[in-house]
Amino acid sequence: MNKPSYPHPFIAREGWPFIAGIVLVSVLITFWSVWASLPFWLLTIFVVQFFRDPARVAPDGDHNVLSPADGRIVAVEETHDPYADRRALKISVFMNVFNVHSNRAPVSGEAVDITYFPGKFVNAALDKASLENERNAMVIKTRDNQHVTAVQIAGLIAKRILCYATKGDKLFQGQRYGFIRFGSRVDVYLPLHARPRVALGDRVRATSTVLAELPPESSPVTSE
């Protein structure tokens, strides 16, 4: 097994202002009434768990495509990738408010295009969220010149997509590149010869779950 892909605090830095704010409110209300403060302490626990960001270990494998997020698989299908303009295999991960919301690069390579799209905030579990919701799409060119598109998609109550990568950045597999606040979805578009390793309804974990295998295009696709 490889080492964790990046060093960082267990609580995501994106959550520090929120946690500090709710803890301060909870303490102040506690001075007034312990009973009245209980709902605020419960909210504090929820906010802390939402912004947890544990280090993960990536499984060995030169051709692995890793999950960019924690959550549940809601799509494994052939469709059009509008960001790289091609037919592609799309694998979608839906994150609820209890999942880790830190996003990690599914493959190593260069970010050749990053585009933000304003949009709606419908339930991210719905198929139409892929093209109608607010989203940020990043196209990564791998070292063997294949393209993988990772799309961060806002959800019903997600109001902020954060992407720290910029065009031209070199990313390594499992690298933390973004965060989505309060429920969302990530779509991954792969070349059609990619071999999916997940199915609808599967629970996945960012970095540690293999979504698919992406051999070089010249490699034969074997049946199982």
110, β-bridge pairs: 141, 170
Q: How many C-beta neighbours within 10 Å does residue 128 have? A: 10
| Catalytic annotation, pick one of 184, 208, 218, 219 | 184
Distance from C-alpha of 37 to C-alpha of 28, rounded to nearest angstrom:
8
Q: In 3D, which of 58, 97, 67 has the Cα closest to residue 190?
A: 67
List Cβ neighbours of 175 (8 Å cut-off, separation of 6 or more). Answer: 5, 6, 104, 105
What is the C-alpha separation between 155 and 99, in angstroms, rounded? Answer: 13
Q: Which helix or strand (DSSP H or E) is residue 116 part of?
A: strand 109-117
Integer Cα distance of 102 and 46 in angstroms:
16
Q: State how beta strands 135-141 and 64-66 pair.
A: unpaired
Question: Quick check: is 219 catalytic?
Answer: no
- 75 is written with which tokens? 């799509």
Active-site positions?
184
